[in-house]
C-alpha cells in the first residue's frame, strides 16, 4: 500500500521502540506508547541517585501553585505564543526519599490546558505527562534542554532546604508535541549533593 519493504518498516518500528514511542507487548503486538507506561513515565527525568535506588518510584510531588496568567515575553517566545496570551503556570517540588530535590516552574499554553488546576494535578496518581495525554490530548514527543550552574536564592533555598547560595543545576526544558509544536516550558533547579544528571549520547 505504501510501497515500502517489510525490512524498512521493521527497522522503523525497531527505532521507534528504542525511543519508547512504541511499546512491544509479548503475545499482544506493538502499540503506541503512552506516558502511563512504566518505561516512559520518567522519560525526560535524567536525575539519578549517587547510591542506586528506585528513584522514580520513590518520588513524592508537592504542588505549590497552579494559576492562569498572561505569558511573560520570554515564556511566550519559547512557546511560540504572543506576549500576553494566557498560560498555565505550575510550581512543584519533587521529593525523593523524603528530601526535596527538584524545584520545577512550568508554563503551558492556556488554550490547550483549560481546566487544569492544582487539585487535579495533586489528585492524579500517574506522571504529569500522563495526565496531559489522557485528559488534554497533548503528548510530549521530544524535548530540548539547556543546563547551567546557578546559586540558590532565598526562596529556592527555603523550598529545597539548602543554604542560601548553594550551587544548583538549572535545567531548562522545552517539550514538543506532534508537528514540532512547543507545548511546555519547564525550568527546574536540581540539588546534586546526593544525585547526578545522567544523559546517554549516541
What is the bridge-based pairing of β-strands 195-197 and 47-49? antiparallel
Among positive and negative, which fits the CA dihedral 100, 61, 58, 43? Answer: negative
Question: Helix, strand or coil for residue 47?
Answer: strand
* The predicted structure's pLDDT at residue 126: 83
What is the band of 46 on the pLDDT scale with cuts at 50, 70, 90? confident
The CA distance from 166 to 189, in Å, is: 11
Question: Could you tell me which of 44, 73, 36, 81 has the C-alpha nearest to residue 183?
Answer: 81
* The predicted structure's pLDDT at residue 109: 97
Fold classified for 1-33 = Arc Repressor Mutant, subunit A (1.10.10)
Higher-pLDDT residue of 41 and 138 is: 138
What's this model's pTM, rounded to 2 decimal places?
0.78
What is the band of 198 on the pLDDT scale with cuts at 50, 70, 90? confident
Is-contact 161 168, C-beta < 8 A? no
Write down the domain spans for the chain: 1-33, 45-197
C-alpha distances (whole Å) from 178 to each of 1, 108, 175 are 24, 15, 10
* Residue 169, C-alpha cell as written in the block: 543545576
The CA distance from 46 to 76, in Å, is: 26
Class of domain 45-197: alpha beta
Average pLDDT, the chain: 83
What is the band of 8 on the pLDDT scale with cuts at 50, 70, 90? low
Is 60 exceeded by the pLDDT of residue 129?
A: yes
Amino acid at each position: 500500500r505504501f510501497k515500502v519493504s517489510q525490512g524498512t518498516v521493521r527497522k522503523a518500528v525497531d527505532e521507534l521502540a528504542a525511543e519508547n514511542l512504541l511499546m512491544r507487548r509479548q503475545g499482544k503486538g506493538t502499540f503506541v506508547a503512552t506516558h502511563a507506561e512504566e518505561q516512559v513515565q520518567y522519560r525526560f527525568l535524567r536525575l539519578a541517585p549517587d547510591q542506586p535506588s528506585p528513584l522514580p518510584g520513590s518520588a513524592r510531588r508537592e504542588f505549590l501553585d497552579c494559576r492562569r496568567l498572561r505569558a511573560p515575553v520570554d515564556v511566550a517566545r519559547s512557546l511560540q505564543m504572543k506576549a500576553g496570551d494566557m498560560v498555565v503556570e505550575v510550581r512543584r517540588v519533587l521529593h525523593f526519599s523524603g528530601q526535596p530535590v527538584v524545584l520545577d516552574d512550568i508554563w503551558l499554553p492556556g488554550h490547550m490546558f483549560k481546566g487544569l488546576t492544582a487539585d487535579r494535578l495533586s489528585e492524579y496518581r500517574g506522571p504529569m505527562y500522563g495526565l496531559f495525554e489522557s485528559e488534554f490530548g497533548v503528548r510530549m514527543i521530544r524535548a530540548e534542554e539547556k543546563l547551567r550552574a546557578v546559586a540558590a536564592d532565598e526562596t529556592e533555598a527555603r523550598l529545597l532546604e539548602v543554604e542560601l547560595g548553594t550551587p544548583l543545576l538549572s535545567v531548562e526544558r522545552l517539550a514538543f508535541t506532534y508537528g514540532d509544536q512547543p507545548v511546555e516550558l519547564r525550568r527546574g533547579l536540581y540539588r546534586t549533593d546526593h544525585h547526578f544528571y545522567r544523559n546517554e549520547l549516541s
